[in-house]
Amino acid sequence: PSSELTRHVARWLRLCDAQPAFAQAKATAAKAPAASGGGERGSGCPPLEGAVDGKVVTRFPPEPSGYLHIGHAKAVLLNDYYAKRYNGKLLVRFDDTNPSKEKGEYAANILRDLETLGIDVEKKKEAGGYVTMSHTSDHFDHLMKVAQKMIKAGHAFMDDTPQETMKAERETRTNSKHRDAAADVNLAKFKELCAGKADDWCLRAKIDMTSDNGTLRDPVMFRGNKDEHHRTGMKYQAYPTYDFACPVVDSLEGVTHALRTTEYNDRDAQYAWIQNALKLRPVKIHAFARINFVRTLMSKRKLAWLVDQKAVEGWDDPRFPTIQGVVRRGVSVESLQEFIIGQGASRNVVNLEWDSFWAINKAAYEPHALRLMAIEKQGMCELELTNVPQYDDEGVHAIIAPRVPKDPSLGERPVRVS
């Protein structure tokens, strides 16, 4: 009978509830919606692996080589969302490892864009809030020491193989002629590189040239660069690559979860290898798909070319997908936040149409946008019409209508008629 079946199922469920593992799982699941503000916000953002409430540290590492665009907004807001969800910290760290492309102007405008998105780094840093800021350049000296440690351990070597030859050797999985050089020889040459005396050389990790994963075929970790750095000036003559600096500094600065787009999937193994080789605290990686809009140019290099060629007004041109561009075009920041979090942290890459975003944007303005009518002053002329109905209100031919149809409290306006 169905009643007997129900009784047995109820007994089974009570037995499950009594198990410690079930109780812990229920408690963890109950925390997530409450921390995210309830409702549907963040419903597409899965829990972070191994996350502990109050101890999560996420990071957003922009390179100051251009202004933030709507693609960066997803990374910013997801990192911010998870930091808040777990009552943790958000670290904004400028990845300033390439002085040839970076400018102080870009760094200043990135801070401005973050403030637009609701993340005021300076204020929250001063107030002891959940947002902090750093620069990879803060750790250049430490990264040089770490590189020397890897050389001494036999995990890195110096190489002067030309770039095209290096690329060909990677494709054919051929070892560099310098791969088995002695540690003391590599160490001496590395010091020359850092002193600006070995411009044609670079430091490479010694991982596995036979790997099916191309990012593990002895990647470059340090290279020479004599351009002036926008923060450190001419103090350094060689700089770490992003792929080397990121896993080291993430671990050093206490990051617990590194959110990276799926285009970095192959590099995740390299990230883990560097931390393991240096015996660093491991950082968990959480992948999400980048945001793509059809018929939209998102490459900072190509956007910079348009700016340099003066084909547009600047990085805030309303035709640009930059944060400043879309805000100037009329985007509501609240709508942008809702749209990004609504996309969630899925790994599925989707090409989005702007129509779906503009629908959300319109809904944000609908309740409070005043309805006004106007004509261009230039080229206007007056006409006197004598055969139309008259709606005379103190000498003004108009119909009185609410400023906002759904909110009479915002007042009324005259609609001129003819």
CB 35 within 8 A of CB 68: no
pLDDT band at residue 38 under the 50/70/90 scheme: very low
Pick the residue with more confidence: 129 or 222? Answer: 222
Residue 290 bears catalytic tag:
yes
- CA atoms of 275 and 281, how far apart (whole Å): 7
Q: Give residue 392's pLDDT.
A: 56
Catalytic residue selected from 74, 189, 204, 300: 300
Which strands, in side-by-side order, build the sheet including 396-402? 392-393, 396-402, 412-416
Decide if pLDDT at 125 tops 80.
Answer: no
Decide if pLDDT at 173 tops 80.
Answer: yes
Q: What are the DSSP calls for 263-303, one per residue?
A: GGTTHHHHHHHHHHHTTPPP-EEEEEPPPEETT----HHHH
Give per-residue pLDDT as tens, 143-170: 999 999 999 999 999 999 999 999 999 9
Residue 84 bears catalytic tag:
no
Of 23, 81, 114, 68, which Cα lies nearest the Cα of 286? 81
Decide if pLDDT at 412 tops 50.
Answer: yes
3, amino acid identity? S
Give per-residue pLDDT as tens, 295-305: 888 888 899 99
Q: What are phi and psi of 355, to 5 degrees?
A: -55, -40
Residue 300 bears catalytic tag:
yes
Q: Give residue 34's pLDDT.
A: 38
Give the number of other Cβ atoms within 10 Å of residue 389's Cβ. 7
Kindly report which listed range (1-15, 21-35, 67-81) carries the lowest average pLDDT score.
Answer: 21-35
- CA atoms of 340 and 347, how far apart (whole Å): 14
pLDDT over 90 for what percent of the chain? 59
Tell me which H or E stretch contains 144: helix 140-152
| Total residue length of the chain | 418
Decide if pLDDT at 40 tops 60.
Answer: no
The predicted model gives 284-309 an average pLDDT of 89
Catalytic residue selected from 59, 63, 169, 204: 63
Decide if pLDDT at 25 tops 80.
Answer: no
Diameter of the chain by CA atoms? 100
Tokens 């390299």, located at residue: 270
The predicted model gives 80-84 an average pLDDT of 94
pLDDT band at residue 39 under the 50/70/90 scheme: very low
**What is the β-pairing status of strands 202-205 and 156-159?**
antiparallel
Q: Give residue 391's pLDDT.
A: 55
Q: Give residue 393's pLDDT.
A: 54
**What is the β-pairing status of strands 284-288 and 257-261?**
parallel
Decide if pLDDT at 285 tops 60.
Answer: yes
Pick the residue with more confidence: 399 or 152? Answer: 152
pLDDT over 70 for what percent of the chain? 90
Kindly report which listed range (28-32, 333-337, 405-409, 413-417) carries the lowest average pLDDT score.
Answer: 28-32
Catalytic residue selected from 31, 179, 284, 290: 290
Tell me which H or E stretch contains 231: none
Q: Could you give the angle at the alpha carbon of 37 between the alpha carbons of 33 and 43, nearest 5°? A: 50
